Chains A and B, each alone.
Chain A
Amino acid sequence: MALHFSPAVPELGEGPRAAQRTRSARLSGGLTAALGAVGLALGLSVIFGAPRHLQIAWLLPLVGTRFELDPVSGVFIAVTGAVSISVGIYSVGYAQRERWARVPMAVLPLFVAAMLLVPAAGSVTTFLLVWELMAAASLILVLSEHRREAVRSAGIFYAIMTQLGFAMILLALVVLSAASNSDAFTAIAAHAGNLSPGTRATVFLLTVLGFGSKAGLLPLHAWLPRAHPEAPSPVSSLMSAAMVNMGIYGIIRIDLQILGPGPRWWGLALMILGGVSAVFGVLQASVATDLKRLLAYSTTENMGLITLALGAAALLSSSGAPKVAAIALTAALLHVLAHAAFKTLAFLAAGSVLTATGLRDLDKLGGLARRMPVTTVMFGIGALGASGLPLGAGFVSEWLLLQSLIHSPHDGNTLLALAMPLSVGAVALTTGLGIAAMVKAFGVGFLARPRSGAAENAREAPLSMRAGMVVAATACAVFAIWPALLGPALRHVLAALSTVGGHAAGPQLGTYLRLPGVAGSLAPALLAASLLASVLVALGLSRWGARHRPAPVLAPLWASGSDALSPRMQYTATSFAEPLQRVFDNVLRPDTDVEVTHFAESQYLVEKVTYRTRQADPVEQRLYPPVVRAVTAMAQAVRRAHNGSIHLYLTYGAIGLLIVLLVAQ
């Protein structure tokens, strides 16, 4: 897939407009970052302080609004705030470089504000209001470059799917609110126990589908790998690192906290949904060649892991293992935070690459390490986090998840005996393929030699963009090395989630992460330090005998026997992922066609072989067209019934009249 964006055409009268744009960009970015800071502070103050609430009766006709903050809201507000700080700083430079119009600049802080309000909503109606505001703001931002056809189609796709998800959530929540005869979450939670099992199950299924769609979980995920790549990169960061979390928040708040504790199949359903999404997402990521699409699928993957962890927490909690459930819950929360950090960073770095080269296609990138060293390091840190390796931001949470899975009670329970090993397998496959995907993104995209002129001429991002990335990178480092910093906050949040084991003693996040009830520990900081030491030892070992060596020299690489090494000889992202694509052929089902052109003289001589492969989303291809076909068929049938004949129209009226006369007897 070739994606080449021509840099914006220089405009006439550049001077005053550029100055104006600089001012607007500073205002917009500054406001975004300031809102983020407020959110972070507010979130932390709620986590550690008393719950707050606020009611505004006049806002929103007939309904009014109600906000309530508890530690669970706090953690999601804080993480959104933190992401926004980084993105806000970054967007100052980005907006100038990409010549943003005023609309996206104005909407960016609004989007952040809406996202900060979602976890603060204290009633069904308020929640739906801010939820939809968030969706609308993000839609406007996705459409910022609406002059490109791809952006438009992604935007429409996004709008429709997000509305579908919204409809599901709306239905579920109003049914819930009607059944408990109340609008406020607290009151609903108090009544939730009295609901009929059928209502609870319906609400659970609808909300999981709806929230899952926002979080990019299967089967309603298809908007995510379209919209996230097409949005401007700061927006992609906000969407992929902060907005998807709102789906998770919804599942936690509605399904686990208000409706919970549910029957055991709820936990199992979440685990299956999460596991399938994780594996599917990572498979797609590992064969993707569009850098931002790869990151978007990685979001599906990570949200899948988080959902799996939540499901495990619910299942374990209902299986009488609250302590292990608390580990799973901690894993889920920590992974939300870690994912926010590394995904922000990765998308911001991808954005730097995009502004510098106009490219997202990994097959055309390469060689950026020398040209954009800071961005490269930043992407590296992000990718390390995403791959779940030690020293990466995602390692600790995945470790906790695995610990919770292997420590489920062994009481001969068939459900657990099957669910847990399969989940470990899913998590492991996800991690393995995730590593492959990130190695591809970093290795093909940033290392080696440039595969196109645009990549050749890349230059480093401006200061504000680098600064924004550094903020996110710092967060990544904290998650990777000193997660103990988050210990107290997570303890408070856990305590608020008693329905999924939060009341039990959770894992202690200190220098050593210790797990209650089971022997198992990890010391990320010590691990990092000792790894550094041992790498130094290894480097020292390679100095052995250095005195006897001749002076080091530079040498050309081996060009497989030809004269000079051309960039075209390199492995591309497509070829890098080809083995995986072949292994998972049955799942991925790529469209491949090989076209062989023979010489006119002889059909034994081949003039040209064209090989084309395109990786579409198989779930989308199977699931969505029938729906679209059904709707279209219905529409066509109705259309045929409205053929313009006044006689036919009057006949409808006459039939209506007859029906009324007969029914009204």
Chain B
Amino acid sequence: MMTQATYAGVLDLTVGAFLLAAVLIVWRRELSSIVHLLAWQGAALAAIPLAEGIYRGDAGPIVVGVVVLVLRAGALPVLLLQAVGTADTERRESTPLVNTTSSLLITAGLTILAYAVTRPIIALNPAPATRAVPAAFAVILIAVFVMVSRRRALSQAVGFLMLDNSITATAFLITGGVPLIVELGASLDVLFAVFVLGVLTSRMRRTFGGTDLDQLRELRD
């Protein structure tokens, strides 16, 4: 089927793609292309259990991989695309709080940080999959950074999904995935959460005439 070296190579490739998608999301400003990148990231995420399943000859991970593929590369991005507005100003992340160059530098920094903080995890189980975990961890930090720095409601939703993707990726890499019931529950929660965010985005557009999160400053002390 697949040798260990091939498996490790495939794993590196998918995780690399996963991280690359995150970096590109930081770079791009067009909302629709961000969502598309997110779908690609979902695909990369699905590739992790798929590769493992093929490598081990185990049907379980393959099923999980297919579900993840449908959900993260299909359903969720589609849900989000619905929420992308039609107005011109609504389609772009025109003025993020941190400019692109700085964003990319910060992303680089966060990636290095991820390598530093994941040492205990690798130390516990230095398998090929675990060795890839810093990349997944880096995406966690990048996702949080995206949420902090983007002004569009949709961008934040994308950030949230990216965060979720990266945690799932970490789970796949270090444990081969959490127990099924937890995985199902978590996925359901994420689905609903994204649904809620989508509904809220459209309500926001109706009520505020836009999705700039800077408008949400009425509630304070």
How many positions in chain B have a CB within 8 Å of any CB in the partner chain? 22
Those of A608-658 within 8 Å (CB) of chain B: 639, 642-647, 650-651, 653-654, 657-658
CB < 8 Å A-B pair total: 38
From A642, A658, A662, B220 is in contact (CB under 8 Å) with A642
A643→B217 CA distance, assembly (Å): 7
Q: Is A644 touching B219 in the complex (CB atoms < 8 A)?
A: yes
Q: Is A665 touching B117 in the complex (CB atoms < 8 A)?
A: yes
Q: Which of B6-14, B21-29, B57-65, B144-152 contacts A (4 or more CB under 8 A)?
A: B144-152
A20→B218 CA distance, assembly (Å): 52
Is B188 on the interface with A (CB-CB < 8 A)? no
Is B88 on the interface with A (CB-CB < 8 A)? no
Tell me whether chain A's interface is mostly helix, strand or loop, or mixed.
Answer: helix
From A644, A653, A662, A665, B217 is in contact (CB under 8 Å) with A644
Q: Is A644 touching B218 in the complex (CB atoms < 8 A)?
A: yes
Q: Is A647 touching B117 in the complex (CB atoms < 8 A)?
A: no
A651→B97 CA distance, assembly (Å): 12
B152 to chain A minimum Cβ distance, whole angstroms, is 12
Question: Given known contacts A654-B148, A661-B117, A665-B117, is B221 in contact with A647 (CB within 8 Å)?
Answer: no
Question: Given known contacts A646-B216, A650-B148, A654-B145, is B113 in contact with A661 (CB within 8 Å)?
Answer: yes
Is B120 on the interface with A (CB-CB < 8 A)? yes
Q: Is A639 touching B221 in the complex (CB atoms < 8 A)?
A: yes
Residue of A nearest to B98 (CB): A647
Residue of B nearest to A652 (CB): B148
B203 to chain A minimum Cβ distance, whole angstroms, is 16
Is B213 on the interface with A (CB-CB < 8 A)? yes
Q: Is B148 touching A644 in the complex (CB atoms < 8 A)?
A: no
A644→B218 CA distance, assembly (Å): 7
Residue of B nearest to A635 (CB): B221
Chain A residues closer than 8 Å to B218, beta-carbon distance: 644
A605→B213 CA distance, assembly (Å): 69
Chain B residues closer than 8 Å to A658, beta-carbon distance: 113
Residue of A nearest to B117 (CB): A661
From A642, A643, A647, A665, B148 is in contact (CB under 8 Å) with A647
A644→B213 CA distance, assembly (Å): 10
Chain B residues closer than 8 Å to A651, beta-carbon distance: 148
Question: Given known contacts A651-B148, A654-B144, is B221 in contact with A642 (CB within 8 Å)?
Answer: yes
From B97, B113, B144, B220, A644 is in contact (CB under 8 Å) with B220
**Could you give, for residues 193-221 of chain B, a 1 whenever the CB lies within 8 Å of some chain A CB and a 0 otherwise?**
00000000000000000000110111111
Question: Given known contacts A654-B145, A661-B113, A661-B117, is B213 in contact with A647 (CB within 8 Å)?
Answer: yes
A653→B218 CA distance, assembly (Å): 21
Those of A327-375 within 8 Å (CB) of chain B: none
Q: Which residues on A are within 8 Å of B, measured CB to CB?
A: 639, 642-647, 650-651, 653-654, 657-658, 661-662, 665
Q: Pick the 8 closest A-B CB pairs, nearest first.
A: A644-B220, A644-B217, A661-B117, A650-B148, A654-B144, A639-B221, A651-B148, A650-B147
Q: Which residues on B are within 8 Å of A, measured CB to CB?
A: 97, 113, 116-117, 119-120, 141, 144-145, 147-149, 151, 156, 213-214, 216-221
Beyond known contacts A650-B148, A662-B117: 12 more, CB 8 A cutoff: A643-B217, A643-B220, A644-B217, A644-B218, A644-B220, A646-B156, A647-B148, A647-B213, A650-B147, A653-B144, A665-B116, A665-B117
